[in-house]
Chain A
């Protein structure tokens, strides 16, 4: 207890001196909607790791242009219904200047019109469905390549580089899975290839042996483009290898995949992954300074034995992009939207970002193909 008025005044002065700048501190509020519970919650956990690292770096020394970035995490559970309820509550209570998320296409499609109506930009880093940036929204921006951007080069290169003429599409029964498979089919058939089968599966399918059996019974198939979450893809690859369909099991078909698969898939699938060809956007083995710096900072924060995945990197990049928009003068939702729409070749860990008129990142310069080797390492294919 302070007994003397002079001391009380001094204490008050100190309090005010520290309190006033804090109160006057400009803040960009970011609502982060990610699946934190449920089967897709690994997206949320890895996304949070990336965001926390970026926040540390961006807010160090007082933030950007006097603005600190403040984040509120919310669990949208990869579910359209929960995402809808959550985004309404976040808009009402937290009043974000921008929302980052969701990861799953179906949930992202559910929240996009709500954010559009509220005129709050949505920065998406993990949903693939084409519809997200093809629905005429003015406040939706996506750094993740859409299904068309992922499926098209896969289909084209399957035909031209691998000499494939037949394909069986394997995809989860979601907007993202369907769109990716459609993208592949369109390019592959346009080049002269033939889709001889299309097999979809729900996220509750566990045993892929019957699917592998069905494909084995189809006779010789050249490529198997597969679009699903990591856990199911591991089991699918193992079943295909067991049925001697894919290269990893002594067969001849080449399994192909998208950016969905995080780093670490090959180690989990083991020999079944050998020969797997996929496109990657974030490659932790890339020598670009932005990537090596990110790897170093990530390991310093989370452990020397941890290698960041594309989920970590995409989430990290969303904060970097918000900070860049603020550096360019953004201070509210409208100016954030304006700065995003003018971004050209902004370098982040997952490549360069140039938003087109629809809000889709159109710069695919760092996207490249890799093939899993017998020692489970990646070989870059220079396609």
Chain B
């Protein structure tokens, strides 16, 4: 393999790994937008909560208290983060989003997401302090080498989990009654209600699924990011960009855009420098808005999600 091909392959692998991480964060955002037509500004903090939940389960509860091996502890922590995200979504929806939504005002729930974000950030700051936590995945310690190509076991795990999450979500949406009902709500909330679909339950379910995905993303991002109460903010801007590039509320578009942004980022580092990553990503976003405002996958609005 020539050096150039080797470099191309290596940066593509790096990009796919990074893209999968972004997809996991962006999926929840796009799901909420697709069903509720609302942006959740607290999504980054759900990711952070997931990361902290995974950290404490992996490094304290599973390994120290239950005596599980590091690898099992970390895998368990991914499930725990998923659960923590789901629980948080359930509570926040019941306490904040649902009461505001029932008042029939679209702006208030949107502003409330900012409030929830500030609340979660500062709550975590009070609980955990600002000093970065060192969250290492046991899978990140092991590097797989295929000739001169390398990647960590952690990156393989991230790709597998992302694929499972995408597949699971796709199957849920396409083949289950609840998934079909969700799609019905996203297409026309009022008509779905007239058909006997419990709109509030399905919106709550959407928030729970999106939050669970965010929590799980946190568990996988934890060993990558600098884990502080503000950690999620470092990926959320790109996640928003991915959702817009992919087509707001469109799952397939989000997946393609996420992987694309990951790969673009890796090659930007290689050929332009990491200092211009944001510039490149947001130029792409602006170009998309001008050339193809519907996003990469230009489906009809009602077919999103």
* Chain A residues within CB distance 8 Å of chain B: 36-39, 41-42, 44-46, 173, 199-207, 209-211, 213-214, 217, 229-232, 234-235, 238, 242-244, 267-268, 270
A244: B residues at CB distance < 8 A: 150
**Closest approach, in angstroms, between the C-beta of B32 and any C-beta of chain A?**
23
B 6-18 to A, binary, CB cutoff 8 A, 1 in contact else 0: 1100110011011
Contact of B130 among A42, A200, A211 (CB under 8 A): A42
CB pair A209–B275 under 8 Å, yes or no, is no
The answer to whether the Cβ of B221 comes within 8 Å of any Cβ in the partner chain is yes
Most chain A beta-carbon contacts within 10 A, residue among B21, B226, B237, B270: B226
Contact of A210 among B6, B11, B140 (CB under 8 A): B11
**Closest approach, in angstroms, between the C-beta of A185 and any C-beta of chain B?**
16
**Closest approach, in angstroms, between the C-beta of B18 and any C-beta of chain A?**
5
Q: Complex: how many Å from CA A208 to CA B224?
A: 9
Q: By the criterion of a CB under 8 Å from any partner CB, how many residues of chain B are at the interface?
A: 43
Contact of B226 among A210, A211, A235, A270 (CB under 8 A): A235
CB pair B270–A210 under 8 Å, yes or no, is yes
A235: B residues at CB distance < 8 A: 224, 226
**Closest approach, in angstroms, between the C-beta of B45 and any C-beta of chain A?**
14
Q: Complex: how many Å from CA A209 to CA B270?
A: 11
CB pair A202–B274 under 8 Å, yes or no, is yes
B 111-128 to A, binary, CB cutoff 8 A, 1 in contact else 0: 000000000001001000
CB pair B275–A173 under 8 Å, yes or no, is yes
B 256-281 to A, binary, CB cutoff 8 A, 1 in contact else 0: 00000000011001100111011000
The answer to whether the Cβ of B234 comes within 8 Å of any Cβ in the partner chain is yes
Query: When A and B form their complex, what is the total count of cross-chain residue pairs whose Cβ atoms lie within 8 Å?
Result: 105
B 192-232 to A, binary, CB cutoff 8 A, 1 in contact else 0: 00000000000000000000000000000100111110100
> In the complex, what residue of chain B is closest to A209 when comparing beta carbons?
B14
CB pair B10–A213 under 8 Å, yes or no, is yes
A207: B residues at CB distance < 8 A: 14, 17-18, 21, 224
The answer to whether residues A210 and B265 also contact, given A37-B125, A204-B234 and a CB cut-off of 8 A, is yes
CB pair B150–A205 under 8 Å, yes or no, is no
Q: Complex: how many Å from CA A201 to CA B269?
A: 9
Residues in B249-305 with C-beta less than 8 Å from chain A: 265-266, 269-270, 273-275, 277-278
Most chain B beta-carbon contacts within 10 A, residue among A38, A232, A267, A270: A38
B125: A residues at CB distance < 8 A: 37, 41
The answer to whether the Cβ of B95 comes within 8 Å of any Cβ in the partner chain is no
Residues in B115-148 with C-beta less than 8 Å from chain A: 122, 125, 129-132, 134, 136, 140, 143
> In the complex, what residue of chain B is closest to A262 when comparing beta carbons?
B131
> In the complex, what residue of chain B is closest to A267 when comparing beta carbons?
B134
A46: B residues at CB distance < 8 A: 131
B224: A residues at CB distance < 8 A: 206-207, 235
Q: Complex: how many Å from CA A210 to CA B271?
A: 11
The answer to whether residues A41 and B130 also contact, given A210-B15, A210-B266, A242-B150 and a CB cut-off of 8 A, is yes
CB pair A200–B11 under 8 Å, yes or no, is no
CB pair A243–B150 under 8 Å, yes or no, is yes
Q: Complex: how many Å from CA A232 to CA B226?
A: 7
Q: Other than the known A45-B130, A213-B270, A270-B136, what 6 A-B pairs have Cβ atoms closer than 8 Å?
A: A36-B130, A42-B132, A173-B275, A213-B266, A217-B6, A242-B150
The answer to whether the Cβ of B235 comes within 8 Å of any Cβ in the partner chain is yes
CB pair A214–B269 under 8 Å, yes or no, is yes
Closest 4 CB pairs of A and B: A231-B226, A41-B130, A210-B269, A200-B275
The answer to whether the Cβ of B152 comes within 8 Å of any Cβ in the partner chain is yes
CB pair B143–A242 under 8 Å, yes or no, is yes
Some 29 contacts from A to B, beta carbons below 8 A apart, are A37-B122, A37-B125, A38-B230, A39-B228, A39-B230, A41-B228, A45-B129, A199-B269, A199-B273, A199-B274, A199-B275, A200-B273, A201-B275, A202-B278, A206-B226, A209-B14, A209-B155, A210-B270, A211-B274, A213-B11, A214-B269, A217-B3, A217-B6, A217-B7, A217-B10, A231-B132, A231-B227, A242-B143, A267-B134
